[in-house]
Chains A and B, each alone.
Chain A
Amino acid sequence: MTNLHNNRFVTLPFIPLLLILTFGVVSGVSGENADSNPKRILMLSSYHPAFPTYRQQVDGVRDTFAGRDVLLDVEFMDSKRFIEEEFRLQFLDMLSTKLSQLPPYDGVITANDNALSFALAHQKELFPSIPITFFGINNRKLALAQNRNPQVTGVVEAVSMEATLQMAMELFPQTSTIYAIVDRTPTGQEDLATFYSYSSRFPLDELSLERLSFDELEARLRGLNENSVVLLISAYHDRTGDRLTFEESLSRITANSSVPIFHLYHHGMGKGIFGGKLISHYQQALTAAAIMEEILFSETTVDEFSVVEESPNIYMADYVQMEKYGIREQDLPEGTQVMNRPESFYRENWVQIWSLMVVIFLEGALILLLIFNIQRKKSMARRLMASEQRFRDLFEYAPVALLEEDYSEVKRYLDFQLIPGGQSLESFLQENPREVEKCAGMVRILDANQQALSLFKVPSKAPLLTGLSRRFSEKTLEVFTQELLSFYRGETKFSAPSQMKTHLQDPIWTNLHLVVAPHNEKEWDRVYEGIENITRTVHFQNQLENTIREKDILLGEIHHRVNNNLALISSFLHLQTMVSNNDALNRFLQDSMTRIKAMSLVHEKLFRNSTIENIDLSEYIHDLVHEIIQAYSSSSTEVECVISCEKLTLSINFMIPLGLVVNEIVSNSIKHAFEAVAQPRIKVRIEKINSTHLELHINDNGIGIQPAAPQSPQQKSSIGLLIIDTLIDQLEGSKQVVTDHGTHYTIILPTEEGSNEQHNTYSRR
């Protein structure tokens, strides 16, 4: 068995919202789905539409089926006003007629005891096999008996007497008496009995209309002391037989009572009643309708639901009465619904307030964003201006002449230039210098910096911006041609020395550096040109070249003079040999002459050379050996000479000692080695053995020399050998002499690089 009461109760706080949301939907759904076989439900009301409980009851039913495809009909028995049997029978006839002409109902919901009693009495004839759910049943016994009826179930309605009395005492603890207003109606008497069942716990008394008229009741109410509380149970009839509606009697009671009035039913709330734990007709209807919904839409049967025994009553209080008696909300029992609570401005307008706040927040954020953006833009603009100024200054005051140029017209002209078939642009431009001049005239100068003004000697930018072509010389046009060809090949950079003219047509030497600005490679509409003034450099370079040329001439002249002087000395010695008969003296003079020749030959080579510092070793050795042989050879002995020498260039510092060494060895061989040698032969070979040393071999096929014991320089028999050893020492070389079918000299000498490694260089000259 399923008990839906609790499930439904939890939705209570959302009922007003559901009402708002679903009212239109229910109505709408009923109309829209008229053709879609909706569930038909009949609500059988015990009373009439104007009865105080009716509105809440029908709302409870409608809210339950909100969103469901349901058609709800309501029939009113009006049994409160017309209690005679005659009316009941007429109602039966009328309903029977209606049911016979209408499609059958899928379910019946009865409201209050009379409707349930009627439905049960005519269940078989009117509602065979139709599920019936009931609510608002005070007859608990009858209600619980339906647990045995397979087609009927529902919810009991019972007053919460104890809870209401407890609520009154807790809220008004100083209460001395709780007075029950009651009349002689059965329901009233039944509730009065219940009231008195709690007399042991609460101070109870009654104001009974069985003994009082309504006027007397009013008087009694006015006379109640301030520590009294009133519980309205029933007030329809007085002792005189006067009848009042609930609203009429309630109006008279509230008008004459200054103490809080509690009630057991929802109706009357908001009209002067404080509150109580009330029977909620809405909640009752909601519970019964929920059971019907389950039966109709969840394929369950009535007998799966037992009768809900506990009436779903709710604590309620009227905010106006709370204010009147100084009761705070937190003093109320938990879950109490407070009606008539004045909505605070916030509660009434929270949607608008929040919407407004969201709008204000968004607008504020937008404003902040805009302010931030504006500040950022201002800051960027300032930075941009500073940057612009910085680059402007950089351009204007750069220490090199800068031009910003537009070559786009040149590019278009070259693109559309009709070049004769087969001819390249290069040959075309070279053959047509007028075209190059025309292109030069198309170059637009967009801007020029201060250094450019200074370079071209113009007072302002205006004369420069008219174009550069008038500052071109013949050399500039050649460079301009190369520049155009370079750009036309797709290159974006070009540098070349050039000659230009100032505004006054003075020639200036320049280094041009051109760059096609990025993203302008196709059109050439922005080209940056840096012009370096190298006039002074060129001038100094020319001066330097002249100085070097003069120095070379002077050095050559010195070598020439030295050579001549040495030749003069040699001539003096030769003259002396001519007049002298002293053979020893003549030999000495001859030796001296060849030594002088070895030295003078170096100077001769130097002044004849294109360079004045280095001499070709091979050429020198050939000439030297040839001179020696000529000087010493006689007609009787012709010496064969084989010279093999690597191509080496050496300085005068190395060449003179080397030449003297070769002179001594070769002349010594010719003088002393070839006596009785049929075919005298001398071989001279010089080769580089590594990067720092060279080897000198001088071999003869003469008689050889006997190795002598070491001697001091003074003791050496031959001055020639002394010179050889001294010069080899000076050159930091080594010597090996072997006598084997002749004399074989092997001398290893460090070249100047090798020598420099040891002694670095000569310190000061």
Chain B
Amino acid sequence: MSSTILIVEDELLIALTYRMDLEKRGYTVIGVCSTGQEAVQSVEQQQPDVVLMDIHLKGQMDGIEAAELIMQSETAPALIFITGNYEAPTKERANSLEPLGFFVKPVTMQEIDHLIRS
């Protein structure tokens, strides 16, 4: 059975390319969210295996804050952070949640696929 993935990305063209690529690779993309609040709700309702989380999001909550809420759940999904802003404090905050991976844009879905499979 293929892994289910939730994409959290406010650049919808980028999210679209992620989705198309991942689906070609056999994953089930259960949705695309552009804000942290949407992501938290979506994880609660659909319980994906993996959340592909952009750190820079629209709205009041950033990706790390949304991930903190998501990781409080007992059935927390695996987290993969993707960001265009590689700064040490940001990475420190993200690593405190023990994510599956941390990528700096641009990233290829081949790298994601390899990480999930490994």
Contact = CB atoms under 8 A, between A and B. Distances in A.
Interface of A: 713-714, 722-723, 726-727, 729-730, 759-765
B20 interface: yes
Nearest to A756: B58
B106 interface: no
A548 to B, nearest CB: 22
B62 A730 contact: no
B1 interface: no
Interface of B: 10-13, 16, 19-20, 23, 34-36, 55-62, 65, 85
A727 B60 contact: no
Contact of A760 (B20, B56, B59): B59
Given A727-B13, A763-B36, A763-B61, 13 more contacts: A713-B19, A714-B20, A722-B16, A723-B13, A726-B12, A729-B12, A730-B11, A730-B34, A759-B35, A762-B10, A763-B56, A763-B58, A765-B56
Nearest to B34: A730
Interface centre among A713, A759, A765 (most CB of B within 10 A): A759
Contacts, number: 43
A383 B21 CA distance: 88
A764 B58 contact: no
Contacts of A764: 55-56, 62
A765 B23 contact: no
Given A713-B19, A714-B20, A714-B23, A763 B57 contact: yes
A759 B23 CA distance: 29
B20 A713 contact: yes
A294 B19 CA distance: 144
Given A759-B35, A762-B56, A765-B56, A726 B62 contact: no
A142 to B, nearest CB: 138
Contacts of A730: 10-13, 34
B20 A763 contact: no
Nearest to A762: B58
Contacts of A723: 13
B96 to A, nearest CB: 16
9 contacts: A714-B23, A723-B13, A726-B13, A729-B12, A730-B12, A759-B35, A759-B58, A762-B57, A765-B56
A120 to B, nearest CB: 139
Nearest to B20: A714
Contacts of A722: 16
B60 A760 contact: yes
Contacts of B59: 759-760, 762-763
A727 B12 contact: yes
B57 A713 contact: no
Contacts of B19: 713
A727 B12 CA distance: 7
Nearest to A765: B56
Contacts of B13: 723, 726-727, 730
A714 B20 CA distance: 7
Contacts of B36: 763
A558 to B, nearest CB: 14
Given A714-B23, A730-B11, A763 B16 contact: no
Contacts of A714: 20, 23
Contacts of B34: 730
Nearest to A755: B58
Contacts of B61: 763
Contacts of B60: 760-761, 763
B82 to A, nearest CB: 15
Interface centre among A723, A726, A729, A764 (most CB of B within 10 A): A764
A578 B36 CA distance: 46
A250 B53 CA distance: 149
Contacts of A763: 36, 56-62, 65
A727 B15 CA distance: 11
Contacts of B20: 713-714
A643 B13 CA distance: 27
Nearest to A731: B12
A709 to B, nearest CB: 20
A765 B12 contact: no
B38 to A, nearest CB: 11
A713 B24 CA distance: 13
Nearest to A764: B62
A734 to B, nearest CB: 15
A759 B85 CA distance: 21
Interface centre among A729, A730, A765 (most CB of B within 10 A): A730
B62 to A, nearest CB: 4
A232 to B, nearest CB: 133
Contacts of A759: 35, 58-59
A99 to B, nearest CB: 139
Contacts of B55: 764
A765 B56 CA distance: 6
A575 to B, nearest CB: 22
A763 B54 CA distance: 12
Interface centre among A730, A760, A763 (most CB of B within 10 A): A763
A726 B14 CA distance: 10
Contacts of B65: 763
Nearest to B36: A763
Nearest to B66: A763
A723 B65 CA distance: 30
